Structure 1
Amino acid sequence: MEQTKQAAVGCVIMASGRAVRFGSDKLLADFGGAPLIARALAVTASPALAARVVVTRSAEVARLARAAGATTVLHSLPGRNDTVRLGLDALLGECPGLGGCIFLPGDQPLLRRESLEAMVRDFHAQKETERVILRLGWRAGGAEPLLGSPVLFGSGHFDALRALPEGRGGGVVIRQHPGYIRAVYAQSAEELEDADTVERLEALKRFL
């Protein structure tokens, strides 16, 4: 996908969760014969992305990310706001003219690269002055669509994302702009599922 410097999209892989409900570092748990974090690294190995950064508190996750060619930020700060800020700062250090940033949780193992690339395509189709926040979604029948992660923010939101309240994530910015959210629909609802517990991880393995 051809990109201009101004329109380039990067990705922050959020891998700093403490996995309290899981009971151990879930990103190192086996999923299809590889650590769970390997799924996020594979999905983001796409020419649609100008750069990608993995933000983590785990030295082993950082090692795996570096081995996969991703920039890593290893830290010990407590809040989700810290993860967002550190990742975005690292991306902007690599791509100062970044036009957009996808924030992708590291524990959505069934997310497809095609869905991520569709989000980037929709971003590029927008005029710079009319950009909305893009969220991966799923629509079943006539029900209200389910909106989840990843989320793609344009550069107009970068300052707000770098100054989030302590302990808060990008949902703060989403709630501030309720009329400027648009879904990019996944091929299956399972793409939006995360592995919060050992039981949920085992259930998601059925879809491999």
Structure 2
Amino acid sequence: MTADGCLPGDWFAAIVLAAGHAVRFGSDKLAAPLDGAPLLTHAIRAARAAPVAKVVVVTRPGLTLEPCPGKPAVEVVRLASTALSDTLKTGVAAVSGAKGAFVFLGDMPRIPHGLAASLAAAIGPAYAAMPRQGGRPGHPVLLSSRAFADICALTGDEGAGRLLRRRDDVTFVDCTDPAIHFDVDRPDDLARAAGPS
């Protein structure tokens, strides 16, 4: 049983991937301020707004996270590797026992906070659930526990995208908000993200 009283396999978790080095940004983008808080804090807030019992942030050594009081608790896992597959596998390992895991990206600050609940309601027996806007899938992705073993077989900078594109048992939830595609790669992206969400 989890700290929130959930039985094994009866709860969702959220994984926030934040181990990259932000080469295109030119400095530590996840610590860059946006609306009075570090960029990464916005992704963590979206993850905590999801219907989850646990939030895991997978990040690299040296990145300072602001305190995250409240529930669900935020667990921080430090990882020397920046390979996407290693980051994702580490997150999945940290939430074993969950019936599924939302995958959030640390550089996507404007994810609508109600979207994760819609994905959870839609996944049913599907392998995964994803939001879609303008015909394009976006984030966060909700992976069922059936996907965990396949995630653990990924290598290098391979994420879950190619794996999900090969399957016909992925559920899509249509969304009108283009923020499901918006990530911060360069300083001008951060400037575009500033202001009301």
TM superposition shift of 1:66: 5.7
SS in 1 for 2:188: helix
Superposition TM-score, scaled by structure 1 size: 0.83
Hey, what does 1:142 align to over in structure 2?
A: none
Contact 1:55 1:87 in 2 (8 A): yes
Q: Which amino acid aligns with 1:102?
A: F
Contact 1:135 1:181 in 2 (8 A): yes
> CA separation of 1:108/1:73 partners in 2, compared to 1, >3 Å: closer, same or farther?
same
Hey, what does 2:129 align to over in structure 1?
A: 134
Contact 1:66 1:72 in 2 (8 A): no
- Superposition RMSD in Å: 2.1
Whether 2:65 is the aligned partner of 1:86: answer no
Q: What pairs up with 1:106-121 in 2 under 5 angstroms?
A: 106-121=106-121
TM superposition shift of 1:74: 0.7
> CA separation of 1:149/1:54 partners in 2, compared to 1, >3 Å: closer, same or farther?
same
Percent identity, please: 25
SS in 1 for 2:14: strand
Hey, what does 2:13 align to over in structure 1?
A: 10
* Bigger proportion of residues as helix: 1
Q: 1:76-100: per-residue Cα shift (whole Å, max 9, x none)?
A: 11311110111111111xxx2x111
Q: Structure 1: how far apart are the matches of 2:128 and 2:165?
A: 11
Where does structure 1 lack aligned partners over 5 or more consecutive residues? Answer: 140-144
TM superposition shift of 1:43: 1.4
> CA separation of 1:189/1:164 partners in 2, compared to 1, >3 Å: closer, same or farther?
same
Q: Structure 1: how far apart are the matches of 2:127 and 2:116?
A: 16
Contact 2:126 2:170 in 1 (8 A): no
Q: Structure 1: how far apart are the matches of 2:185 and 2:178?
A: 16
Hey, what does 1:165 align to over in structure 2?
A: 155
SS in 2 for 1:196: coil
Contact 1:137 1:192 in 2 (8 A): no
Superposition TM-score, scaled by structure 2 size: 0.87
Q: What pairs up with 1:1-208 in 2 under 5 angstroms?
A: 5-46=8-49, 48-61=51-64, 63-64=65-66, 69-92=73-96, 96=97, 98-123=98-123, 126=124, 130-139=125-134, 145-177=135-167, 179-208=168-197
SS in 1 for 2:184: coil
Aligned length: 191
SS in 2 for 1:59: coil
TM superposition shift of 1:6: 2.3
Where does structure 2 lack aligned partners over 5 or more consecutive residues? Answer: none
Contact 2:50 2:113 in 1 (8 A): no
